[in-house]
Structure 1
């Protein structure tokens, strides 16, 4: 039975996107996106940049849930990148699963209702960004500056066949990663497999603790004005050099 929900992303816009299977294969091959979930529901994470510290953090979080999601619930997981640079390291060290290339960025356009959503250095003015950075620093996951990290991504839980999208998380700010507990709950609804409520409660508790820490930090106390535009500016990095962090700290204090 379908558990499709009303989402901003249209299923019609993602199902025929052309992807390339290019890692750990003898020869690259093209496939249509709906082949991913033809036989079983699939969680698809469209990341901004393989070297991005936030993207790597998100990959590690869901890779840690692979046993529950793939083996217990029978739901596949896959990542999509819009550039190949650094994808091999991302897969081997943080994801340990399938990664597909979206050369035309059509999946990313679908997440923005037909347009690419981008974010540049102006995102540093958003209090929520600094909260995300605090969370990431605590995780210990590091990144680099290789590639273009300006294109915003997201996460979709797509049901088997053509039953539609059951859950979505659309990235609006650098580091705005999906909540593992919410994704697990959605996966449970789709699969019909009950999840360990204690694990979900612990995930919620940890997220709330990080949120509280962010709110108490001078880096994200809301002294700057939140931007209202989702798309703006240009920029290629989603990891910050130390001098940029120090300068922003001084401005916020």
Structure 2
């Protein structure tokens, strides 16, 4: 019997997706997505582009929670990243993620997060205050990116139960740099594993989240002042924005 909570993303849309294990392996191999969570619940981070500064920041944020999620939870909860292009994935893995990365050539995870369709961005969304907040947060993090590849396809994050019990938690990216809150992901992992969290870990994650927003408000970019610079980490063209 499924113990999954109600989510917009359908488990049936993700369980048989074909992925490719291609980094740090002698020979690439294909596998169905449900093999990832066959024995352990799994956090699946679906990123837009390995070179994107926001995607790298997201990877670094959750990589910092790796010990808590993978070692302190009962039976451990795996964390993996999904990419739809290989370019830059090796640097992304080695410098920001330090975990498994799988290639979704058909972009099926991205379609599943969009109820069967790819959600892509448009430059007109740069007027959104939330975008500038995300950009300011990223600039404060010091994480930089590049302009290689297609960053127009929006991603998200899923926590999938072990076996075929479904999706326990989801975060669907709506705005460029819209990163899932680490404290909420930790709380979801706690519910799934049945292991109580160290309150200091949650409180620290909440404080860090608030600190990011305080920095955003303190920056002149909070008023929507765009940067026209083409430098990596400074230009608003590292990824595309959503159209909805």
Q: Same fold (TM over 0.5)?
A: yes
Unaligned runs of 5+ in 2: 238-244
Partner residue in 2 for 1:161: 163
Give the secondary-structure state (helix, strand or coil) at the position aligned to 1:19: strand
Give the equivalent residue in structure 2 for 1:132: 134
Q: Is 1:54 the counterpart of 2:54 in the alignment?
A: yes
RMSD: 2.2
CA displacement 1:141-190 (0-9 Å, x = unmatched):
11000100000000000000010101000001110011000000000000
Q: Is the 8 A contact 1:2 1:159 kept in 2?
A: no
Q: Secondary structure at the match of 2:133?
A: helix
- Compute the displacement of 1:206 (Å): 2.0
Offset of 1:138 from its aligned partner? Answer: 1.1
- How far apart are the structure 2 equivalents of 1:34 and 1:172? 25
Q: 1:21 aligns to what?
A: 21
Task: Measure, in 1, the Cα distance between the counterparts of 2:40 and 2:31.
Answer: 16
Q: 2:2 touches 2:164 (CA, 8 Å); kept in 1? A: no
CA contact under 8 A between 1:13 and 1:110: conserved in structure 2?
yes
Provide the secondary structure at the position in 2 that maps to 1:30: strand
**Corresponding residue of 2:240:** none
> What TM-score does the superposition give when structure 2 sets the normalisation length?
0.89
**Aligned partners of 1:212 and 1:3: how far apart in 2?**
37
Q: CA deviation at 1:15?
A: 0.4
For structure 1, list consecutive stretches of 5 or more residues without a partner in the other structure: 225-236, 245-253
